[in-house]
Amino acid sequence: CVLYLYKVENSIPLFGITALILSKRIHSIFVLRMFNDCIAVLFGYLALVLLTQRKYRSACIIHSIAISIKMNILLHSPGVLMILLIGAGWLETVKCLSLCAIVQLVLGFPFLSTFPVEYLTKAFELGRVFMFKWTVNFKFLPESVFVSKEFSLALLLLTIGAYILFAIKWIKENNSSMSQIEVQPVKLFS
């Protein structure tokens, strides 16, 4: 799926693909630990492939399944939303988001019907602190900084800011029309 997306993007240089294959993070997740990340990411990238093929409803179903496997796929959601709004329009976006909600309700039904409060509070436990020993990207920080609320808030604000900047750039490159049919990917390496 990832190589297909690189092919569609057509702007990733060879060293980018080589870096992907040699990535310490990829090795850590897929070889050493075998978390459910690999399954969630497979579904997440499959959803992105379906989006490039304008199969919006199928993409949203697969995207929602990926989120049900691991919540970090939610980080794809702002991009998925932008693609839906620009490529499919408002009405189809509402239908697709409804499909996402239905998938979540169906998959969560066994838990929602027996322990609804516990399920919802633990599934969306936004106040939890990640363990320093599992970080790959922030090993250079002292543990006290990594587990601090200020660092978490800074990362959240940076993420939201990046989403906003990317959305502004993408909308400008697509003539700021939310109903435009032809969506061109933003060239990151041009």
Q: Which of 15, 42, 38 shows the shortest CA–CA distance to 26? A: 38
DSSP 112-152: HTT-HHHHHHHHT-TT----GGG-STTTTS-HHHHT-HHHH
Which tens digit of pLDDT belongs to each residue from 92-149? 999 999 999 999 999 999 999 999 998 888 877 767 777 787 777 788 888 898 888 8
Residue 39 has a pLDDT of 87
Rounded to whole angstroms, the Cα distance separating 178 from 5 reads 23
pTM for this entry: 0.73
Mean pLDDT of the chain: 81
Q: Which of 45-49, 72-76, 121-125 has the lowest mean pLDDT?
A: 121-125
CB–CB of 44/63 below 8 Å?
Answer: yes
Tokens of 41: 């990411």
- The band of 57, judged by pLDDT with boundaries at 50, 70 and 90, is very high
More confident residue, 177 or 47: 47
Percent of the residues in the chain that have a pLDDT greater than 70, as a whole number: 80
Residue 4 has a pLDDT of 75
Which amino acid makes up residue 105? L
Residue 102 has a pLDDT of 97
Residue 65 has a pLDDT of 96
Q: Which residues of 78-116 are buried (b: 16+ CB within 10 A; e: fewer)?
A: bebebbbbbbbeeeebeebbebbeebbeeeeeeeeeeee
Rounded to whole angstroms, the Cα distance separating 136 from 174 reads 36
Tokens of 134: 């599992």
pLDDT at 30 over 70: no
DSSP 168-179: HHHHHHTTT-TT
